[in-house]
Structure 1
């Protein structure tokens, strides 16, 4: 079994970059996805040279900050100030009422991908801010762009949770399961069996809970979704134009979990090999 341990939001803030750097050195993080419009992008892309075994993907974004495209060219995706809406609920309501134009989504995502390529990022896979690429119609669009840009893997944000769970984590996974109903499966790009870490976040990002999940579902390739950060005095706040964000509350707990809770011992116990997507053959799901 192969496990990809992916940190979302690289490029958002120096705290995320520090966490990826330290956890990659420890071998417990193998992958991260970059926000093309993140204020820390230029420093963050250097990690692929510092850590050759770290895979970097695109964290496709329709939700936060200033778009890479000219805002005048994507009016359905921006507010009067030319910023993306910053509110998941507002964006979802606009999407459900047909106010979001798929052609503009394709244009902005393409601009983000090309911006990362212009920064010499060797893209291993795609995922998205708040898993928005799972929304009906957008999963197929993300797959189309992966094929266009020769990216071999895309996150499948499908996490199975026990029907007896009655918490926010269960609601997140059920919503994404519903979004993905009827979505096409791909030969190219490939998707992992699914993910773990959407239902169980913060202090619940625990290797014992991951072991129980693997024991139950026995995937051949699974991705752990995580959001660690390592802030330092003087860093400054999260970017104000990104709108309200709760991710800062996850940083410390998830960094402490990944650095202190014996993940590598659990991987060894369950026979899981940590990899990044770029090390896996998309045709077979095994090491190249």
Structure 2
């Protein structure tokens, strides 16, 4: 079994960068996805050369902050101030009512990828803010963009959820399952067999829960989705133009779990190898 442990939101805030740095050093984190419009991007990029086993991907973003494209060219994606809407429900309603133009999504996502490439990031894969690329129509579009830029892997945010589970985590995973069920992607880019960490976050980001999950579903490749952060006194707030964010509430608990719980021991018990997507051959699904 191969396990990709990916931190979302790199570039958002120094706290996320510190967590990726420390956890990559500990060997618990192998991957992170970067926000092209994140205020901490320039410093975050340096991590890919500091940690040989750390792969960096693109965290495609339609939700938060200032777009990379000229706002006048993507009017269906921005508010009157030229910012991405910053509210998930508002964006979803615009999408469901047909007010989001896929041509503009393609333009903005392509601009984000090119911006990251211009910053010398060796992109290993794609995922997205709030898994919005899983929405019908957007999943195939993200795959098209990945193929255009030679990106071999993309997150398919499919997490198995027991039928007897009735909590917010279940609702998140069920919604994404429905979205993905309406998409019919090609064989490229390749995806992991499943993910874990969308339904189980904060105190539930626990290695024993993960072990139970993979022993039940037996994936050959699985991605752990996590959101650790290590804030320090003197740090500024999250960028106001990004809108309300709950991720800050996950930072400390998920950092504590990854730093202090027996993740590496559990991986060893499972006979699993931590890797990043760039280390996996997309044809064979084995380490290169």
TM beyond 0.5? yes
2:213 alignment partner in structure 1: 213
In structure 2, the partner of 1:49 is: 49
Alignment of 1:85-124 (within 5 A): 85-124=85-124
1:131-280 maps to which residues of 2 (within 5 A)?
131-280=131-280
Shift of 1:189: 0.7
Q: Is the 8 A contact 1:195 1:225 kept in 2?
A: yes
Give the whole-Å Cα distance in 1 for the aligned partners of 2:56 and 2:106. Answer: 21
CA distance in 1, matches of 2:184, 2:223: 20
CA contact (8 A) 1:2 1:222 kept: yes
RMSD: 0.5
Deviation per residue, 1:116-167 (Å, 9 max, x gap): 0000000000000000000000000010001000000000100011000010
Gaps of 5+ in 1: none
SS at match of 1:190: coil
8 Å contact from structure 1 (residues 143, 154) kept in 2: yes
Contact 2:143 2:185 in 1 (8 A): no
Deviation at 1:185, TM superposition (A): 3.5
Secondary structure at the residue paired with 1:58? strand
Structure 2, unpaired ranges of 5+: none
Name the structure 2 match of 1:15. 15
TM-score (norm 2): 0.99
1:82 matches 2:82: yes
Q: Which runs of 4+ in 1 moved over 6 A?
A: none
Q: Distance in 2 between matches of 1:101 and 1:187?
A: 25
How much does 1:186 deviate?
Answer: 3.2
Q: Give the TM-score taking structure 1 as reference length.
A: 0.99
Q: How many residues align?
A: 288
Contact 2:36 / 2:59 at 8 angstroms: preserved in 1?
yes
Tell whether the 8 Å contact from 1:187 to 1:283 is kept in structure 2 after alignment: no
C-alpha offsets along residues 3-41 of structure 1, whole Å, 9 cap, x if unaligned? 000000000000000000000000000000000000000
